[in-house]
Amino acid sequence: MQWQFGARTNSFDIGWTEPWFLDKPMSLGIDIFNTTRVQQLGTITNDYTTRDRGGSITLGPRFSDIYTLSFGYALSSQLRYNVAPTRLRAAPSFRRLAPPTRTAMNSTPSIPI
C-alpha cells in the first residue's frame, strides 16, 4: 500500500499478492491505483491536470523460492483536463499531441531472475 497527498499530487496504490493461490505453488497478485497530478510546462505552474486510474492482475507458477514465471494483464486510463487557456492559444497542437483520454491494455509475461 502506498499513498501520497500534496498540493500538486494525490495518489494511492493498493496491491495484494497470494503466494499459494488455490493451495498450490502459484502466485496471484492484484494491484489498483489512482493518481491525480497538476502538471507544469515551462513557466505555467498549473498548465493541466492528469488523472491516471487502473489496475493489474498477475498469475504464475513458482518453481522455487527464487524462480517464478508470471503472466500479467494491466488496464489503465489517463484523462487530461483543466488545460490552461494560454497553452491552447500558444500551442493548438497540444490537443493533437495529448488526447484528453487514453486507455491502454498491457499483457506481459516475465521471468524474475
Query: What is the rounded CA–CA span in Å between residue 83 and residue 79?
Result: 11
Nearby residues of 9 by Cβ (< 8 Å), 6 or more positions away:
35, 36, 37, 38
Using pLDDT thresholds of 50, 70 and 90, give the confidence band for residue 1.
confident
Domain ranges across the chain? 2-110
Q: How many CA atoms lie within 13 A of 13 on its CB side?
A: 7
Is pLDDT at 2 greater than 90 in this prediction?
Answer: no
Is pLDDT at 73 greater than 70 in this prediction?
Answer: yes
